[in-house]
Structure 1
């Protein structure tokens, strides 16, 4: 996600951006953020990538047309909760 915040809605996005501005933070200039709040919220937002039931047209589009992507430094076998076989149509 290139250290971007993945908001849950347009309102969430606007609120997070306001809070960063209030704190004098800019994730486009400083990565990772030195402020624990900003860094924690950005990283925590990435959990939404794996929520297959989450749908918000402002952020991700409808479930029937969106794709899910993720990048990470490391994924260990003990972190995998479930694996499903994918077969392309």
Structure 2
């Protein structure tokens, strides 16, 4: 079995869930608490991700949202007060990899082109309809007026899982849960992340 090291920062209370259940899972209430006034927007966007991701790796019963992870040490979010950094070693077949830049298109309800030719063709299609861009087609002043374009935009979103550039700054990873046996280290605020993970190389040899 092939493994990969991942890194994710979680609230310190996740330790209690880990001790109680043997795993850590993301819940809608956590998303709402973390996102504050933007919670409704992000919850709706995350549901889109869930629908696409569970077609690739089945979502365990009871899991509401995935857990975001970095794939390299230099893109990991270091621990801060009230939060811990989990250093994981996970079977690759349990990881949902995606392109973080393409995910920004989904967050903004935009079309993800398959290549430059497709990008140009979609732009021409918008111009032929008198539309300056894809903004506001799904949400905003054009919502509901172009159902065929909306369908085309939504159908492009699974392309976030097509990774052409395996860069640690673009590729991100999601897990449905963190299992206890996947945890190699837990970094607490003030601890030396580099020293504590020395010799445990990430996917980029760091």
In 1, the alpha carbon distance for the partners of 2:154 and 2:115 equals 16
State how far apart, in whole Å, the 1-side matches of 2:124 and 2:154 are: 18
TM-score by structure 1 length?
0.57
Match of 1:17 in 2: 123
Whichever structure has more strand as a proportion of its residues is: 2
Deviation at 1:68, TM superposition (A): 4.1
How far apart, CA to CA, are the structure 1 residues paired with 2:158 and 2:114?
11
Task: Decide whether the 8 Å contact of 1:7 with 1:13 is kept in 2.
Answer: yes
* Secondary structure of the corresponding residue to residue 27 of structure 1: coil
| TM-score between the two structures when normalised by the length of structure 2 | 0.28
Q: Secondary structure at the match of 2:121?
A: helix
Per the TM alignment, residue 67 of structure 1 is displaced from its structure 2 partner at its CA by 1.1
Q: CA RMSD in A?
A: 3.1
State which structure, 1 or 2, has the greater radius of gyration over its C-alpha atoms.
Answer: 2
Deviation at 1:84, TM superposition (A): 9.1
Q: Determine if the alignment matches structure 1 residue 63 to structure 2 residue 170.
A: no
Q: 1:47 to 1:27 in 2, by over 3 A?
A: same
Q: Is the 8 A contact 1:6 1:45 kept in 2?
A: yes
**The one of 147, 150, 158 aligned to 1:47:** 158
Unaligned stretches of 5+ residues in structure 2:
1-105, 184-200
Structure 1, unaligned stretches of length 5 or more? 56-61, 71-82
How far apart in 1 are the matches of 2:171 and 2:112? 15
